[in-house]
Amino acid sequence: MLFDVIRKRRSVFPAQYNETPIAKEDILKVLEAANWAPSHRKTEPWRFKVMQGETLEKLGLFLSLKYLETDPSPKEFKAKKIIENPKKASAIIAICMQRDPMKSVPEWEEVAAVAMAVQNMWLACTELGVGAYWSSPALVKHMGDFFEMNHEEACLGFFYMGNYDQEIPDAARGSIEDKTVWL
């Protein structure tokens, strides 16, 4: 049931992934789920770049070098984590937004549409039993140096994906009544 999938959705981090690869068919299902997100004026601003295999190692090295180059006080442990995390994933999908060339809707609506696409991806991963995590490091602004991006396209983060063995704990939320005002 949909409500059960929504309640079970969790961040599953690279340290929790095992080495079992994710089938390409499952990645395609996740991307297809993203494609059904709503967007104002049907701009469909989501764009994805799927990275697997050697590209994950190259991504980690690229991000680590950018971190060391751009951070005023880089830390060795963080640079090492930046290198290692991508290699733990079965796939990483760069989450990008292609701005509507006509700028027919506000930019925040395009970002919101991409976020809804990512939520669809996350729910699909939950249904498939695949761990997922949306990372949005400041380094994403440099991704045009790693892969080709179109004019007015921006990288908003990375969607890490991996299979996992351990139980994912239940989560708690505060009451919706404390967050709602009925007028």
pLDDT in tens, the chain (183 residues): 899 999 999 999 999 999 999 999 999 999 999 999 999 999 999 999 999 999 999 999 999 999 999 999 999 999 999 999 999 999 999 999 999 999 999 999 999 999 999 999 999 999 999 999 999 999 999 999 999 999 999 999 999 999 999 888 888 999 999 999 999
Alpha-carbon Rg for the chain in angstroms: 17
What is each CA distance from 126 to 6, 46, 71, 160, in whole angstroms?
A: 8, 20, 35, 13
pLDDT at 115: 98
pLDDT score, position 31: 98
Listed in sequence order, the residues at least 6 apart from 148 whose beta carbon sits closer than 8 Å to its beta carbon are none
Could you list the residues known to form a binding site, using ranges. 9-11, 40, 134-136
Q: Is-contact 119 96, C-beta < 8 A?
A: no
Residue 108 exposure: Cα atoms within 13 Å on the Cβ side: 0
What residues form the annotated binding site for FMN?
Answer: 9-11, 40, 134-136
What are the distances in angstroms from CA 90 to CA 54, 110, 168?
11, 28, 18
Q: Quote the CA–CA distance of 98 and 14 in Å, as a whole number.
A: 27
Mapped onto helix, strand or coil, the DSSP state of residue 53 is: coil
Domains and CATH numbers, the chain: 2-164 (3.40.109.10)
Q: What whole-number distance in Å separates Cα of residue 4 and Cα of residue 6?
A: 5
Q: What token pair was written down for 81?
A: 């984590």
Task: Please tell me the predicted confidence (pLDDT) of residue 169.
Answer: 85
